[in-house]
Amino acid sequence: MMFKLTMIFSIVILEIFFSNRIFTSGEKFANGKLINVAGKMNNATCTSSNDHASNVLLNFHRENIMDPFWVNINDWVAKCDPDPCHLQWINITFQKQYDIVEICVYQRIIKATNRINKLTIRMDNQNKTYLLNDIQTCLLLDEDFGSKSSSIRLSLAESRSVIPNIGIGYISALAYNNDQDSLEYEDYENIAQQEMGATCSSSSSIPLNECKNALDWTFNTYWKADCPSIINCVGQYISVTFTRTTEPEKICLANV
């Protein structure tokens, strides 16, 4: 039997995420708007130990780490050859000095077994090592770490598996600022994510390619519809149910 496939690599439905980041004392007093000083939009730049070679579908350039996943699904990846993974690093230089109040790190969109366990962050000539969550880790910094910083350097401290490459999906470094040309930080939560409790149903699927594959944090799995006709797949669908009533801000689809 001949058939044509329609595939969805990933579905991302975002609502804006409001967090109460208020500092009332010390050098990091909340003065001005909250901005991501590690983002391209605020003129950050970066260097790295190396960038893994790209393939037909994805690239692994260092600049990817400065884009949120709802803008760019590509990650930064370094090849662990000839130097081992723990010697790979990426350095982001800010437009000027800032008092960093919070850092958020997103893991690469790969199998959980290949993600990072611990990450070392260097600012102000200080190194601190943090345990990372499975997808997103946000770190509220102490007063003595991150003040008057002009850059941030990230390096692997511990991986979950022995793989020939290592990398990070996205990082934000947040600071308060009054510059008119700085763009205010917006954070989004993916309510269509399986890890957030979202569920799905579909008109059809190929074995091992069920609709849930379009909702997880692994972009090498996907949903495939089993189309009844070689002509097209019109009418095939996927339906996603959220865990709560909400009003989405952005809807993102990735095809293969």
49-106 pLDDT, tens digit each = 999 998 887 899 999 999 988 888 899 999 988 888 889 999 999 999 999 999 999 9
> What distance in Å separates the CA atoms of residue 143 and residue 99, rounded to the nearest whole number?
9
pLDDT for 71 equals 86
Q: Which of 81-85, 109-113, 160-164, 237-241 has the highest mean pLDDT?
A: 237-241
The better pLDDT of the pair 31, 35 is held by 35
How far apart, in whole angstroms, are the C-alpha atoms of residue 157 and residue 122? 12
Length of the chain: 256
Of 135 and 31, the one with more pLDDT = 135
DSSP string, 2-65: ---EEEEEEEEEEEE--------SSTT---SEEEETTSGGGT-EEEES--PPP-SS----GGGG
Q: Distance between CA 255 and CA 54 in Å, rounded?
A: 18
Is the domain of 242 the same as that of 216?
yes
Q: What is the pLDDT of residues 141-150, one digit of tens each?
A: 988 899 999 9
Cα 192 → chain centroid: 15
pLDDT of 238 higher than 70: yes
End residue of a domain, out of 136, 169, 186: 186
Q: Between these two residues, 221 and 166, which has the higher pLDDT value?
A: 166
Q: Name the band, by pLDDT with cuts 50, 70 and 90, for residue 195.
A: confident
Closest to 204 (Cα-Cα) out of 45, 32, 3? 3
Same domain, yes or no: 95 and 180 = yes
CA 241 to chain centre: 23
113 vs 177, which has greater pLDDT? 177
- 116-123 vs 250-255, strand pairing mode: unpaired
Q: Are 153 and 204 members of one domain?
A: no
For residues 171 and 155, state if they share a domain. yes
From the CB of residue 90, how many other CB atoms can be counted at a distance below 10 Å? Answer: 22
Percent of the chain with pLDDT over 90: 43
Q: Which domain holds residue 225?
A: 5-11+190-255
We report the CATH number of the domain holding residue 98 as 2.60.120.260
In sequence order, what are the residues at sequence separation of 6 or more whose Cβ sits closer than 8 angstroms to the Cβ of residue 84?
A: none
Look at the chain and report how many structural domains it folds into.
2
Question: Is the pLDDT confidence value at 131 over 60?
Answer: yes
- The pLDDT of residue 10 is 62
User: DSSP alpha helices (H): ranges in the chain?
Assistant: none
